[in-house]
Amino acid sequence: MMISIVTGDWDSVRDHAQALRVEVFVVEQGVPIELEWDEADEVSTHAVAYDQAGQPVATGRLLPDGHIGRMAVRKSARGQGIGARVLSALLQEAQRLGYDTLCLHAQTHALGFYQRHGFETQGEEFMEAGIPHHRMTLIL
Give the side-chain half-sphere CA count within 13 A for 130.
9
* Spacing of C-alpha 110 from chain mean position: 11
Give the side-chain half-sphere CA count within 13 A for 94.
24
d(CA 13, CA 19): 10
Look at residue 35 in the predicted model and tell me its pLDDT: 87
d(CA 34, CA 37): 6
**Maximum separation of any 2 CA atoms in the chain, in Å:** 41
Q: What is the pLDDT along the chain (140 residues), one digit of tens a residue?
A: 689 999 999 999 999 999 999 999 999 999 998 889 899 999 999 999 999 999 999 999 999 999 999 999 999 999 999 999 999 999 999 999 999 999 999 999 999 999 999 999 999 999 999 999 999 999 99
Question: Global pTM?
Answer: 0.95
Look at residue 20 in the predicted model and tell me its pLDDT: 96
Q: Return the SS3 of 129.
A: coil
Which helix (H) or strand (E) element contains residue 25?
A: none
Q: Number of folded domains in the chain?
A: 1
What CATH number should be reported for the domain holding residue 73? Answer: 3.40.630.30
Q: What range defines the domain where residue 130 resides?
A: 4-139
**DSSP single-letter state for residue 75:** G
